[in-house]
Structure 1
């Protein structure tokens, strides 16, 4: 964690009498992290950022000069990227694209359109011809296999709303070869079978399986394949499980004969969580401590309406405590020492829990909690307006501004 995060927290609390509740995004750290990721990639591979993990415009802007492009899953996300850049390459995925979304994607010249069904392919062929716009498509395939790594979220290798079963490939190719199709061009295949995989070696095996299948299809159907999009799914650990070993992953890829023999075919990756999770922090002040039937509860200014990930995934979100000495009341300050405490939010529901029975050395009302790994799938998946509590504020660490202590140094965007 960037040590400046804690310094900022002290400054922010000193400047306001309201309980602190904010997101802090370390854009400087994020850029260094992604530079290292890209540097380790072997030849013929490219990195895209899946903005569903965090579509904050400042994150998109920070990654713009580093990644090959962005993956989006809606017109809303497409517009967010185009507001930052009119020319950066875009991959457009998602299983439920509506007619106006497909039309807009074609008009805005997305680089590759992921096709999720035969019906969607028929619509794209028709719209591309009507718009007289050459449209490059990647067929998203759901492979029939039991060799995928096991994760909490699986989107392939089993019955799924995502992609087309591989037995439909001949039907898809037939549609693309029909004389009515004048503007939709097959450029390759898209695979995205799982999310948050922590096993680097198994991830390589999965990619080898993708490459094997594409090689079979190339030979069987005489295909010229320019792109194989292997998706994302690189995991982030929220407990003591070892993190995804990127160095191991890229080393195994570089040694792979299948990767080395790609020739002019490009291998794409489109991670989201793996890029940004560690560079966002959700910070919330403790506003009450209470004991109920032998269980301590710490109530924070905030909760799952700001950071729904722990409730959604059913995990205890990692956090640390930043002690604050300010106490403005004439009565005793509540505190606990060496106790187990459950961290809950301000909502009127028992589901508003971010960490159960955490052992703390010392915790007081007025101290601030930093929930680490809050850069991905935390703010944007949350039910922001439930009960009408104010949104958190947003702060950004960028190169050159994080050593300052005045509020003028902060780039602030109100939630």
Structure 2
């Protein structure tokens, strides 16, 4: 559900007018609703209250430290995929003992850093990673907890770029290799197998793939019990979709109820790793129209936000609702909403019927997940600020970058004179 609502002819997020945000902070900018983020997290927590559970927010969805701090205050755990995300969580006040480290390419220094910070566990994604973990743990004289991430070869029926549980995916370990790998871990003096995990993709809008994953995990859990290997948790991953356009994903409570029915008899802690479902509908990208360009073939609204600010439409052909901040009686026309970046892929929406004037503000809805976290400085563009709204207050939680920021880390090489 969108965090936006019209009051009269003006668009608001909580009790703050988007026009006032633009006046104070400029455009483009990202704006998030505290109440929506916290409500989504609480809904997950309450929906799984019938079984032992731990919510580990997927940091990659939105890694702003103020957002992570909100979640840490709620006693959330965190799913991370890099050293930078570990340190973000800790800087935000998160408990490292509630961090799960996923990802297929963990570097040696990242592993060492995570061990030093005493994170909860590593999700192992390959046998070479297992060998690296074992070698580093032995050298550091540490006993570390690990879980095996299983690739169950299940199609989540989502975009191919965000599908992670098929045989051709780089993620996870083939389900047929899990038992031998678990036995290898059980013989290790440095590693403790505490769980099994699976995550098959993102923006999944059907229950069936989730239920199939849980069946595969429970079958593996029972096989491990039969050979004397007990576990502390089962990690069912994340991936629950949200509504961007005409999708009809299961609600959080419906999702939880269906999964709990399968998991409850086993009385084992369940880890859930939602990201998009917590922050996706809780944020927007606010932009201003620079030009209205009318041609014989197309009408374009050229805005000051581009694909470097919000990559999803260019990367996934993603559809996001685009709303005028102020309603007025201009003629409705069909527009492509395009950015200033020098790429034909630079669009935020196509074929949208809108009544627009040059200088109007537009809100790109449901941009709280994989928005700023995937932004870049392409075309040497400064990344936008981030704003957190709490009731009637709007607080800056990341300042707008400056031109100096763009090249502050760059060094002109000491070259020999030109001929």
Please classify the TM superposition score into its range, dividing by the shorter chain length: 0.7 to 0.9
Structure-2 residue corresponding to 1:236: 242
Unaligned runs of 5+ in 2: 6-11, 401-419
Cα distance change of structure 1 residues 199 and 11 upon mapping to structure 2, 3 Å threshold: same
- 1:324 is displaced (CA, Å) by 8.2
Structure-2 residue corresponding to 1:375: 368
Match of 2:63 among 55, 58, 72: 55
Q: Which deviations, in whole Å up to 9, do the C-alpha atoms of 1:241-284 show, x marking residues without a partner?
A: 21332222222234x2x412212x21111011111101111000
Structure-2 residue corresponding to 1:245: 251
Secondary structure of the corresponding residue to residue 71 of structure 1: strand
Aligned 8 A contact 2:77 2:95 in 1: no
Cα distance change of structure 1 residues 259 and 162 upon mapping to structure 2, 3 Å threshold: same
Aligned 8 A contact 1:72 1:91 in 2: yes
Secondary structure of the corresponding residue to residue 331 of structure 2: strand
- 1:413 is displaced (CA, Å) by 2.4
The whole-number CA distance in structure 2 between the counterparts of 1:86 and 1:54 is 15
Structure-2 residue corresponding to 1:329: none
Aligned 8 A contact 1:187 1:226 in 2: yes
Aligned 8 A contact 1:25 1:280 in 2: yes
Cα distance change of structure 1 residues 324 and 218 upon mapping to structure 2, 3 Å threshold: same
Structure-2 residue corresponding to 1:260: 264
Secondary structure of the corresponding residue to residue 207 of structure 1: helix
- Correspondence 1:154 to 2:157: no
- 1:60-139 correspondence to structure 2 within 5 Å: 60-85=68-93, 87-88=95-96, 89-139=98-148
Q: Which deviations, in whole Å up to 9, do the C-alpha atoms of 1:61-97 show, x marking residues without a partner?
A: 0111325410100001111111123634100010011
Structure-2 residue corresponding to 1:364: 357
- Correspondence 1:319 to 2:311: no
Q: Which deviations, in whole Å up to 9, do the C-alpha atoms of 1:165-194 show, x marking residues without a partner?
A: 12322442343243xx32210111111122
Off by >6 Å, runs of 4+ in structure 1: none
Match of 1:20 among 21, 24, 27: 27
Aligned 8 A contact 2:58 2:275 in 1: yes
Q: TM-score, normalised by structure 2?
A: 0.87
- Correspondence 1:387 to 2:362: no
Alignment: residue pair count = 387
The whole-number CA distance in structure 1 between the counterparts of 2:193 and 2:169 is 23
The whole-number CA distance in structure 2 between the counterparts of 1:186 and 1:410 is 43
Structure-2 residue corresponding to 1:403: 392
Structure-1 residue corresponding to 2:398: 413
- 1:286-325 correspondence to structure 2 within 5 Å: 286-323=289-326
- 1:139 is displaced (CA, Å) by 0.8
- 1:12 is displaced (CA, Å) by 3.5
The whole-number CA distance in structure 2 between the counterparts of 1:341 and 1:130 is 61
Aligned 8 A contact 2:186 2:193 in 1: no
- Correspondence 1:347 to 2:341: yes
Secondary structure of the corresponding residue to residue 215 of structure 1: helix
- 1:47 is displaced (CA, Å) by 1.2
Alignment RMSD (CA, Å): 2.1
- 1:200 is displaced (CA, Å) by 2.6
- 1:35 is displaced (CA, Å) by 1.0
Q: Which deviations, in whole Å up to 9, do the C-alpha atoms of 1:373-398 show, x marking residues without a partner?
A: 1000111212x211222322221112
